[in-house]
Structure 1
């Protein structure tokens, strides 16, 4: 991060499949989130899984509030997050989903304690139907797939049919053969503002690939597209 000050990093903070039951995370999270927040090119966001809008909305709102209270003593601790990463958002339209996501987004955007622009990130893992995207999240994870499936005709067809602006898109691709990693980053950086690319087949969100992390950062920087 410090070696690439012109590259923007979005860091998803996930203490326990969400903020956890305690008002504050453990000491490791307190220390490291505060450390990340000191970088001008980093935004930290808190993780919440909403189970495709099946999680009771009051529970999701309560988790948002827990993340917001982290910043109660921000000047002293540096602890806080700049938005919410909503995992398991639906990709198929329903009026109920629109109502749920709209309420949740309005709450996030209006919650004191969340830092900065209070980003709202949806992760359906595939391009959502237009009415869901039109709610207006700051970022949509339009592709979360293993490399082989990303290359499939089915996935490529949906990505073409439901195209969203690069500035609003993120891609998360795992199980990438190392020889394809750099070309893939060069390809996808024209499609999405944020990328996570790894050679790992499992536990890829708990660790960084020893080869993919360096390659991804270097490929993102070379002849870099301005964001």
Structure 2
């Protein structure tokens, strides 16, 4: 907790951001009858908060031309909200997965926009298991994948190294709209300061944080307040490790909507 207080002190001297912090939610569960209800309710209740929802039908888009009926219904419902963006999941194995396989996933997701009966067009791609930049040869791979996604109408590109980018920071952040530099436990987030989680202060607006194993009694409002003060682009806290429960979504949404952004000293 002492380390968390030091983070608060650090935030006091950072510029106040102009853009709203959003929620980046790994929506990995099957969209059963009411499984995604906390998502729909939160999106509708807080129309000024950006919601980025990562869907993952089968470790990617799956082998069929379009997703199965439950996903079609649920994606169409999310697309009816102007503040929500659906992102398709694809893994990259730190840049070692054959690029043709990743390109096939991108093309499959892009093709969903051709579905006639409902609007299941995706807004972007979530690239998982992204390199942290230590191997400088990997950047070109991810730049190419990001460019292909955008050319196919998948405009929102999210990279998930899950850790701080350590090489060619400018290149990585230029290629993506959001970079998840911290996918970790709640306790580990509290234990470290911003400079240990993130590569560059000026890029905080394109940073995202995903925290798991968040205690039910945790100070979600405090964590979100720090994120807003830093100008973090998106955040999510969940109680479980596999992202299959969404009980925390309303709590995070409330914290973003009502929580106080900590301004720069003297403002």
TM-score, normalization by structure 2: 0.75
- CA shift at 1:157, angstroms? 4.5
Output the CA distance in 2 between the equivalents of 1:124 and 1:12.
Answer: 15
Q: 1:179 to 1:149 in 2, by over 3 A?
A: closer
Q: 1:34 to 1:85 in 2, by over 3 A?
A: same
Deviates more, 1:158-167 or 1:29-38: 158-167
Of 113, 122, 134, the match for 2:159 = 122
Kept after mapping to 2: 8 A contact 1:127/1:162: no
User: Considering only aligned residues, what root-mean-square deviation do their CA atoms show, in Å?
Assistant: 1.9
Greater relative contact order (CA < 8 Å, ≥ 6 in sequence)? 2
| Structure 2, gaps ≥5 residues long | 1-42, 262-267
Kindly provide the CA deviation profile for residues 105-148 of structure 1, in whole angstroms up to 9, marking residues without a partner as x: 11111114x3xxx1110001112124155242111011110012
Q: Secondary structure at the match of 1:96?
A: helix
Output the CA distance in 2 between the equivalents of 1:48 and 1:161.
Answer: 24
Q: 1:160 to 1:62 in 2, by over 3 A?
A: closer
Kindly provide the CA deviation profile for residues 160-201 of structure 1, in whole angstroms up to 9, marking residues without a partner as x: 554352321111011223232221111122231211112x23
1:172 match:
210
Of 141, 152, 160, the match for 1:100 = 141
Q: Secondary structure at the match of 1:85?
A: strand
- CA shift at 1:152, angstroms? 2.9
Kept after mapping to 2: 8 A contact 1:12/1:85: yes
Of 183, 193, 199, the match for 2:233 = 193
Kept after mapping to 1: 8 A contact 2:208/2:234: yes
1:148 match:
187
Kept after mapping to 1: 8 A contact 2:49/2:83: yes
Output the CA distance in 1 between the equivalents of 2:146 and 2:218.
Answer: 39
Q: How many residues align?
A: 215
Of 15, 19, 32, the match for 2:74 = 32
1:81 aligns with 2:122: yes
TM-score, normalization by structure 1: 0.87
Output the CA distance in 1 between the equivalents of 2:114 and 2:249.
Answer: 33
Q: Which runs of 4+ in 1 moved over 3 A?
A: 160-164
